[in-house]
Amino acid sequence: MSSSYSIAVVGLWHLGEIYSVGLAELGHHVIGISDDKKLVANFSNNIPPLPEPGLQELLRKNRSEGRLEYSSDFSVISRSNVLWFTFDTPVDDNDDVDLTVIWNALERTLPYIKPDTLVVVTSQVPVGTSEKIKDFIKSARPDIQCGYVYTPENLRLSEAVKCFLDPGRVVVGVERDEDFEKIREIFSPLRAELLRMSVVSAEVGKHALNSFLATSISFANDIADICEVVNADILDVIKVLRTDPRIGPKAFLTAGLGFSGGTLGRDLRVLMPIIKANHIEPSVIEAVFEKNSLRKHLVKNKLSDLFGSLRGKTVSFFGLTYKAGTKTLRRSMAIEIAKECVAAGAIVRLHDPEADIREVKELIDTFFSKDPYETAEGAEAIVVMTPWPVFKELDFSKLAGLTKTSKILFDTTNFLYEYEISIRQAGFAYRGIGR
């Protein structure tokens, strides 16, 4: 039987909500800590900040069984033998990391930690940060001996609970055997391989993983651009790639507008200064970042080519969230592109089935509706951004009847390619990517 630990989880947004509930589900006693009293109150009423399938049920279960609680009192950390940092690392508009929230949390928590506490960081941090954290702890609390582990998260929005409970493998950056043994015991209920390595290798491993995914996306977009020029179909080309056993069916090869949300871009940005400082050239990573930066202009450029000018044209955007299955608008590419079209003189109307209208209005001051047909009224182009499954159930004939004479439907992820014939029969000029 695995040992039960008392774990303080600090940082309670998406990463923290999953880890606090997940660690309790593994049988440990968990205290989730935040100085946001409203957030804590919501957790105490079984309301997590970001909905995830299965999360609320597990939150309710583990609270009722006495393994999970939440507090805004940092002194309760003294009751724990593991201190786990789970902040969603902020990035700015240039994808640069801001670690202020982690340093502030360290200052708040260190007065309360006990000797032999295991400090675990799951927040995604730039390579070299763990060494600085360990030095900071030694300087602030020379009276204690703390273990340290860096185990980078590998969650996916809308699948986060499943990712935590069935991870396949867990990366563990650790130096001391006793610290690895504690992590092994904490995760022992999971059927997962623990990949032990140095802390710095774990840091670089996370950067490498996200950089590889980013490279795959940019590569697919390169091929999509070639397909458009030579009149090939990117969907057929991707079938060739994914059926090769050296690549595989789950490869990140969806052609579209590139990656957004800050996660992949952040890891590219972390590695780029190291590349430049050490003259590692030519740099695939720098080229991937540049390719993606330019990709977000594709919608405006294509619409401008079709219309001659966007000035006075009405464009409806369907799907605003970072991805389907989540409400988050953090670094939403759809919002960024909508703003670019507004700057070019377009009249923009927005629709998303799940986005919070208040959050949308904070990001862009334009028409927004939960009703796709209301959003389509008077539009000369509909741009499908986030591939929400509900969009496959749209009445395209009804949509076409609400739009103006141009009737362009631009499918930026080729999500509706199976419906291309019915979309054209409804009266739309269908446009995809790389087709």
pLDDT, residue 2, reads 59
Within a domain: residue 367? Answer: yes
pLDDT, residue 1, reads 42
Within a domain: residue 190? Answer: yes
Residues 48 and 168 in one domain: yes
- Is the pLDDT reported for residue 272 higher than 90? yes
- Tokens 């059927």 sit at which residue? 191
- Is the pLDDT reported for residue 3 higher than 80? no
Distance CA 375, CA 398 (A): 12
- pLDDT > 70: percent of the chain: 99
Residues 264 and 313 in one domain: no
Contact 405, 339 (CB under 8 A): no
Residue 297's pLDDT band (cuts 50, 70, 90): very high
Within a domain: residue 85? Answer: yes
CATH for 289: 1.10.1040.10
Within a domain: residue 409? Answer: yes
Within a domain: residue 1? Answer: no
Distance CA 218, CA 222 (A): 6
Residues 225 and 127 in one domain: no
Residues 209 and 107 in one domain: no
Distance CA 419, CA 428 (A): 12
Residues 277 and 394 in one domain: no
State both tokens at 128.
């070299």
The domain boundary, picked from 139, 163, 197, lies at 197
pTM, whole model, 2 decimals?
0.90
Residues 170 and 222 in one domain: no
Residues 169 and 278 in one domain: no
Residues 354 and 240 in one domain: no
pLDDT, residue 331, reads 80
State both tokens at 253.
């090869």
The model's pLDDT over 8-18, given as tens digits with 9 standing for 90+, comes to 999 999 999 99
Give mean pLDDT, residues 287-301: 94
CATH for 46: 3.40.50.720
pLDDT, residue 322, reads 85
Residues 80 and 64 in one domain: yes
Residues 236 and 331 in one domain: no
Contact 214, 270 (CB under 8 A): no
Residues 280 and 304 in one domain: no
Residues 87 and 219 in one domain: no
- Is the pLDDT reported for residue 234 higher than 90? yes
Give mean pLDDT, residues 392-397: 97
Within a domain: residue 154? Answer: yes
What is the domain range of residue 392? Answer: 296-435
- pLDDT > 90: percent of the chain: 91
pLDDT, residue 273, reads 94
Residue 105's pLDDT band (cuts 50, 70, 90): very high
- Say how many domains are in the chain: 3
The domain boundary, picked from 197, 214, 232, lies at 197
- Is the pLDDT reported for residue 334 higher than 90? yes
If you average pLDDT over every residue of the chain, what do you get? 95
The domain boundary, picked from 197, 231, 266, lies at 197
